[in-house]
Amino acid sequence: MSGHVHRDYTGAKFGMWLFLYTEVLLFGGLFILYAVYLARYPQEFVSAGGQLNVWFGGGNTLVLLTSSLFVAVSITALRRGAVRLCQGLLGATVACAALFMVNKFFEWSAKIDHGIYPGSAQLKKLAPGEMVFFNIYYLTTGLHGIHVVIGAAVLIWTMVFIKTGRVHADDWVILENAGLYWHLVDLIWIFIFPLYYLLLH
Amino acid sequence: MTYWAHKKAFPMTEGQSHIIPYRTFILIWATLLILTGVTVAVAQFNLGALNIWVALGIATLKAGLVVAVFMHMKYEQTLFKLALLSALAILAIFIGLTFSDVLYRTP
């Protein structure tokens, strides 16, 4: 490349991080809600949490951790010039996102079939603490699910940029920022999994 | 401007930042899987109030590994680390203020 092209990678990455902090505070609010009601209804949270399927939660944990690995490796691959490997890893990440949502579909379907969803007659018959648990569960995992879909869309958009040559070994900050967003999705699930699915005692 | 003087003035603007090897990422991923196994195993035992603190501790450790290595925070400038600490401090203040209210209410 001839001449000096000014690229403000620090600014681009810092901007992305600032946005991620707003996301942390958004989900942080939901976790505070969870903590307050857990302190108020410890028994009800255990009895309601025990009804969640740990296999769905655990399976999706493995899917997201692995997808995070794929994204992290894809940046190294691109910077080393292994464009096909990078594209393959990003494709695998999008496949992981789809698998996550399929799992979520079956998980929510099973709960809804049992009449457990916000505002349902069945939910109103439960103890107040159990009702609160399921409401926060749907709110938090629903908002997280939207983030999974957005993250997958951003990664597909980045794959198009790599294909057209706009993102390449010497100019990869768009992939870096898309990756940061995807890791945030993984990060939030790291907290959702034990708090909602592993509440056994 | 010489190469090194330029690098000093604009440390991250040229795409010269650290390329993390594949092996590092795979080791972190394996550690994350092991920690997931540990948190599932610990949840099977009734430790009373300790259960939630162990779960949160392991989750925080996992989150730390993701932020430090997968998200390259370990290799970023001090500014990035200070901003992260500020965001976490704000979250801690929210949590502290909320609980200073709800824990001392008389129903």
- pLDDT tens digits, one per residue of A142-181: 999 999 999 999 999 999 999 999 999 999 999 999 999 9
- Shortest distance, CA B4 to any CA of chain A (angstroms): 15
Reduced to 3 states (helix: H, G, I; strand: E, B; else coil), residue A171 is strand
Reduced to 3 states (helix: H, G, I; strand: E, B; else coil), residue B80 is helix
Contact A155, A42 (CB under 8 A): no
- What's the complex ipTM? 0.93
pTM: 0.91
Helix crossing, B22-43 with A54-79: angle to 10°? 170
Task: Give CA–CA dist A172/A80, Å, rounded.
Answer: 11
Q: What is the pLDDT of residues A19-51, one digit of tens each?
A: 999 999 999 999 999 999 999 999 999 999 999
pLDDT over threshold 80, residue A14: yes
E strands in A65-196: none
Q: Where are the alpha helices (DSSP H) in B1-107?
A: 3-9, 22-43, 50-65, 78-102
> How many other C-beta atoms lie within 10 A of the C-beta of residue A33?
16
**pLDDT tier at B8 (50, 70, 90 boundaries)?**
low
**pLDDT tier at B1 (50, 70, 90 boundaries)?**
very low
Cβ pair A65:B29 closer than 8 A: yes
Chain A residues 126-185 with CB within 8 Å of chain B: 170-172, 176, 179-180, 183
Nearest to A69 among B25, B72, B99 (CB): B25
**pLDDT tier at B16 (50, 70, 90 boundaries)?**
low
Task: Give CA–CA dist A28/A45, Å, rounded.
Answer: 19
Query: Which of A10, A24, A66, A177 is the best mutation test for B, with the most CBs of B within 10 A?
Result: A10
Nearby residues of A74 by Cβ (< 8 Å), 6 or more positions away: A85, A86, A89, A90, A93, A175, A179
Cβ pair A71:B70 closer than 8 A: yes
